[in-house]
Copies of this chain bind each other. A is one copy, B any other.
């Protein structure tokens, strides 16, 4: 299940809002709007971005950016539970019975892997194919991060180019001393744009994409390990222990709490039975 990542939106709103309030406290917003400056900073850096990357990567930008605003909800704990259930079923009724589960799996990576397990591919081949796929995934993820990181480097640079243009023009016409101040003010606006865009939008989005990428790779590594253990006919209890290692302490505590409670209830049942 996917739902919007509120922090990404909230962060931009808070950061941008505080900067606007800061401007309003000292001057007025109008002085900070300069379409020519925005064109140099944002448009110029986008032009350089077109040189940096391929056409298809630029198209991917929009798709990739969406990911920073949306989050997937299935956590590793739910995933582990699912695999322990699969392992129990496979132990009792054989691997072929898992065929019925295939359609319920949304994640194509996991579905593809499970299908190979059922089809009886060699464990080494499965590991190799899934690892190659995971590496391709990481490479694609890194491309998205690189694109925003690069934009985060280019936008202050083009901001400075805009400022240099403003300064040079202003300095070349120093006859009118009254024009110095406003000239410099206009010149500095592109630097302001460049640094703000880099530090509130481009770099943080690159960061969020990187955090999500790590999370997904971590989950997929657990999937690979679980699939291979499943194929080897692992004891579900050992699989549970193995997969626990992928949990954060908070998740692990929750899982162990649930286990304890389940055991106690069982024991109570047993005692009541007696």
Contact = CB atoms under 8 A, between A and B. Distances in A.
Interface in A10-39: 10-19, 21-23, 25-27, 31-32, 36-37, 39
A58 B5 CA distance: 13
Contact of A172 (B31, B128, B158, B169): B31
Interface stretch (A78-86, A91-99, A177-185, A261-269): A177-185
Contacts of A46: 14-15
Contact of A19 (B15, B40, B168, B218): B40
Given A129-B245, A139-B218, A162-B22, A168 B32 contact: yes
A44 B26 contact: no
Contacts of A204: 48-49, 51-52
A105 interface: no
Interface in A100-131: 108, 116, 121, 125, 128-130
A174 to B, nearest CB: 3
A136 B246 contact: yes
A8 interface: yes
Interface residues of A, number: 107
Nearest to A131: B245
A182 B188 contact: no
A242 to B, nearest CB: 6
A87 interface: no
Contacts of A49: 11, 204
A162 to B, nearest CB: 6
Nearest to A49: B11
A50 B204 CA distance: 8
A241 interface: yes
16 contacts: A5-B55, A7-B58, A11-B47, A19-B44, A23-B169, A27-B172, A48-B204, A54-B212, A116-B241, A130-B245, A132-B246, A133-B245, A157-B199, A164-B191, A168-B188, A174-B182
